[in-house]
Each structure stands twice: as structure tokens, then as C-alpha cells.
Amino acid sequence: MDILVKGGVLADGTAADIAITGDRITAVAPNIDAEAREIVSAQGKLITQPFVDAHFHMDATLSYGRPRVNRSGTLLEGIALWGALKREQTRKEIVGRALDYCRQAVGKGILAIRSHVDVTDASFATVEALLEVRDRVKDVLDLQLVAFPQDGWYRALGGEDQVIRALDAGVDVVGGIPHFERTMAEGAASVRAACELAAERGLRVDLHCDESDDPLSRHIETLAAETIRCGLQGRVAGSHLTSMHSMDNYYVAKLLPLIAEAEVAAIPNPLINITLQGRMDSYPKRRGMTRVPELRAAGVTVAFGQDCVRDPWYPLGSGDMLDVAHMGLHVGLMTAPDDMRAAFDMVTARPAEIMGLEFGLAPGRLGSLVVLDASDPIDALRLRPARLCVISRGRIVSRTEPAAWTPDVRF
Ligand code: FE2
């Protein structure tokens, strides 16, 4: 075998060694006694399948302050700033920033990212840049790209044609932004068009859906119905879904089973939406995250995404999915032990499921895993500790020393 990870602990508390040969896991058992090219000592440390970010914008990342900072903190000012930036940035700059971010993300144990890419940039530099990045990182990091018409499927001139052009160029997933179209009717029409296009081409769908505090923004209902009509069950995700926070409870009681029936996944983005939403409220201010515990209880697959790291919408972010889950469990009031464990799954196993990845700590799965300087998932969420060792497809791609803390104080 090539790598043997010795003495680790799995998320459920069982002790395990993990053997990797080539790019696959070949054994997971308590005491594997065999020769290996490389031994990774994980004594008592948590071994997890990789972190996965199911919602990101890599064409905008690390551009904070260009052309200026977002003073209102709103989605709409962010979109306006991005509009200005995309007219001036070059393909080379986008590639450089994206690769910088990918290095940081791998160091934090992220081995797959679904990134939306704005296809309404007339120069198409964003799409060309991220296709190049996808190719350059592919041996380590799975980058899935979504054809995202930021300025609207119909509202942007030629928006639909640009989505098709991006898919023709090799972008993986059909995107959309129905709440940003001119009217509710055009938003619903864009959802229908996106689902039909995905069905025609055998692709997945991931829409920015109802990223609004408006309780009447109900495009998720159309998305679920169109998913069923087009036979796309299990291949569709609704990202953000923040309007659900403000919807009438009676309506939501009908909506949740429909989302579950359609097997539409939900991808809330707690770091960004706790800052973008509720901006027009006085007090009390709404939390602006979708109804995570209720979606889970209805049987919907839910993953937390990061959305932004230092870009026109969000000034912070570090590529650490444990920060994302930490914020998500706070906003969702998910502090029961099972809920916290679920929050950990929502940045590892659940997004991998949504993206159709072969991660998982079992024989036959990809030889990709992370050793954390923590004993279990709850401790990992509490401490957000060093990723001691990151292995991607049978290759060690990052090591971090545990934090040394030597307080010079006596009590
Ligand atoms: Fe987004």
C-alpha cells in the first residue's frame, strides 16, 4: 500500500487505521499491520472525509476593495461593485486570485468546490479563467462550475445565450437567479428554462433562489415543481433560500414536503446571509438564513456553503468550512449534540452527495481525507483546529503543525 493512516478516530468514535493504495481507500479497520510507503500518525485524532464547499464564487474571490468596498453591506451594492470589477479585471488576474484561494482551501482540507461563474461578463474572461483553473487544480481539488447569469437569465441582454455558451464551453451545472429577474413571472420562466436545459443535456441544476427577505419570493416552489416535471429528482439544488425565513408558516408547511418530494437539495450560506439579510429591518432584525432544522426534518439534503471570501459581498472568510458550520449551527439554533454532528456532516458528507462525489471513508472510495487536531466533530466545530494532514487521491497535499500554546502565566 502507499499510505497508512494509523491510530485515528472516525466521526462515530470508532478507532481506525486507513490504508490507501493508488488513488483509492483499500481498507478501514482498527489495526492494520502492513508495510506502507508512508505512515501518517493520527494518534487519537479525528479522521474525516474531506471538507466540501457546495457554494462559492471563485471568479470574485480575494478581490475585496476593488473598485471600492461595499459600504451598505447589501447584496445589491455587491452586485453593482462586481459589475464594475468584471469590466476591468483580466483573465490572468482571475486565474491568479483563484489559484491563491485554491491553495488556501486545500490547506484547510477542502478538496471539492462548486463555484458559480458569472457568464454575463461580455468578455467571457470569467468563464475562460475558471475553466483554466478547473484544469490546473484537478489532480488535487474537484472544481465543479455552475453557469451563473449574475445579471439575469432574461434581465441581462443575451443572458440565456451566455448560459448556453458557457455550457458548450464545458461548464458543468446550469445556474440562475430568479429573484433578480424583472418580474416574478420572468423569474418563474427562468426556472423552467434552466430545468429544461439541464434535462436536455443531462446536467445538474443549482440556482441562486429567493436570496431575499421578501416572503413572497417563492421561486423554490417552481423549482421543486419543475424538477419533478423534468425528471431531475436528486440533481437539483436551491442555494440560499433566505426568503423561507420570512414566509408564512402555513405556506411553508406545504412547501417543505414538496421540496422533499422533488429531492431538491438546499444550500444555505450562513456567513454571508447573516450579514446580507435583514438590512432593511429595524428591530428585531431577521436572521436571514433558511429553515435548516425544518428542511432536515422534512428529509431534505442540506449542505452549508461558504459563498464568499473577501469579495464585493463579504469582507471576511478564510476558506475554513468549520467557520461556516459554526456560524450555521448558531444561526439555526442547532446546539443539541446530534444537530452539531449534523452541522459537521453539512460541510463534509452532504455537499459531497449534492455534487455527486466519490468521497467517504470506506474501501473503494477515493483516497481523500483530512486528519484534524481534534478528537471528534463537536470538538472540531468548537476549536476549528489545524488540519494536521490533508490527503487527496492518495497523495499528501498539505501538513500543518498543531498550534503550540505555552501560556506564561501562573494561577
Ligand atoms: Fe452565491
Distance CA 125, CA 234 (A): 31
1, three cell numbers: 500500500
169, 296: one domain:
yes
Residues 105, 168, single domain; the answer is: yes
Report the chain's terminal Cα–Cα distance, integer Å.
50
Domain that holds residue 275: 51-355
Same domain, residue pair 230 and 253: yes
Q: Are residues 89 and 157 in the same domain?
A: yes
Residue 148 CA to ligand 1 center (angstroms) comes to 9
State the pLDDT at residue 372.
98
- Does residue 264 share a domain with residue 166? yes
Q: Are 303 and 346 in contact (CB under 8 A)?
A: yes
Measured in angstroms, how far is the CA atom of residue 372 from the centroid of ligand 1? 28
**What nine digits make up the cell of 373?**
487536531
**Which residue out of 211, 221, 226, 353 is catalytically annotated?**
211
Say if CB 397 and CB 109 are below 8 A apart: no
Each of the 411 residues of the chain gets a pLDDT tens digit; together they read 899 999 999 999 999 999 999 999 999 999 999 899 999 999 999 999 999 999 999 999 999 999 999 999 888 899 899 999 998 899 999 999 999 999 999 999 999 999 999 999 888 999 999 999 999 999 999 999 999 999 999 999 999 999 999 999 999 999 999 999 999 999 999 999 999 999 999 999 999 999 999 999 999 999 999 999 999 999 999 999 999 999 999 999 999 999 999 999 999 999 999 999 999 999 999 988 999 999 999 999 999 999 999 999 999 999 999 999 999 999 999 999 999 999 999 999 999 999 999 999 999 999 999 999 999 999 999 999 999 999 999 999 999 998 887 788 888
Å from CA of 116 to ligand 1 middle? 7
Cα–Cα dist 142/106, whole Å? 11
Domain assignment of residue 404, yes or no: no
* CA 95 to the chain's CA centroid: 20
How far does residue 364's CA lie from ligand 1's centre (Å)? 33
Ligand 1 mean position to 269 CA, how many Å?
8
In a domain, 326, yes or no: yes
In a domain, 209, yes or no: yes
Å from CA of 398 to ligand 1 middle: 28
What is the three-state SS of the chain? CCEEEEEEECCCCCEEEEEEECCEEEEEECCCCCCCCEEEECCCCEEECCEEEEEECCCCCCCCCCCCCCCCCCHHHHHHHHHHHHHHCCHHHHHHHHHHHHHHHHHCCEEEEEEEEECCCCCCHHHHHHHHHHHHHCCCCEEEEEEECCCCCCCCCCHHHHHHHHHHHCCCEECCCHHHCCCHHHHHHHHHHHHHHHHHHCCEEEEEECCCCCCCCCHHHHHHHHHHHCCCCCCEEEEECHHHHHCCHHHHHHHHHHHHHCCEEEECCHHHHHHHCCCCCCCCCCCCCCCHHHHHHCCCCECCCCECCCCCCCCCCCCCHHHHHHHHHHHCCCCCHHHHHHHHHCCCHHHHHHHCCCCCCCCCCECCEEEECCCCHHHHHHHCCCEEEEEECCEEEEECCCCCCCCCCCC
For residue 176, the model assigns a pLDDT of: 98
- Res 182: pLDDT: 98
Place of cell 483509492: 24
Determine the distance separating the centroid of ligand 1 and the alpha carbon of 306, expressed in angstroms: 8
Distance CA 205, CA 402 (A): 40
Cα 176 to ligand 1 centroid, rounded to whole Å: 10
Strand partners, 208: 239
For residue 11, report the distance from its CA to the centre of ligand 1, in Å. 29
Do 329 and 279 sit in the same domain of this protein? yes
Same-domain check for residues 15 and 152 = no
Distance 188 CA to ligand 1 centre (A): 19
Is residue 372 domain-shared with residue 321, that is, in the same domain?
no
Per-residue pLDDT at 254: 98
pTM: 0.97
CA of 305 to the centre of ligand 1 (A): 9
- Do the Cβ atoms of 262 and 292 come closer than 8 Å? no
156 and 288 both lie in a single domain: yes
Indicate whether 27 and 121 sit together in one domain.
Answer: no
Residue type, 109: G
Number of domains in the chain: 2
Residue 35: which CATH number?
Answer: 2.30.40.10
Q: Indicate if 393 and 310 belong to the same structural domain.
A: no
* 42 and 173 share one domain: no
CATH of the domain at 107: 3.20.20.140
In this predicted structure, what is the pLDDT of residue 323?
Answer: 98
Tell me what pLDDT residue 199 has. 98
Rounded CA gap, 64 and 92, in Å?
A: 17
Q: Is 353 a catalytic residue?
A: no
The three grid cell numbers given for residue 371, joined into one nine-digit string: 486528519
- Phi, psi for residue 81 in degrees, rounded to 5: -65, -45
Asked, for residue 405, whether it belongs to a domain, the answer is: no
Structure-derived torsion over alpha carbons of residues 157, 160, 162, 163, reported in degrees to the nearest 10: 150
Query: What residues does the ion ligand 1 have nearby, CB within 5 Å?
Result: 307
What pLDDT score was predicted for residue 75? 85
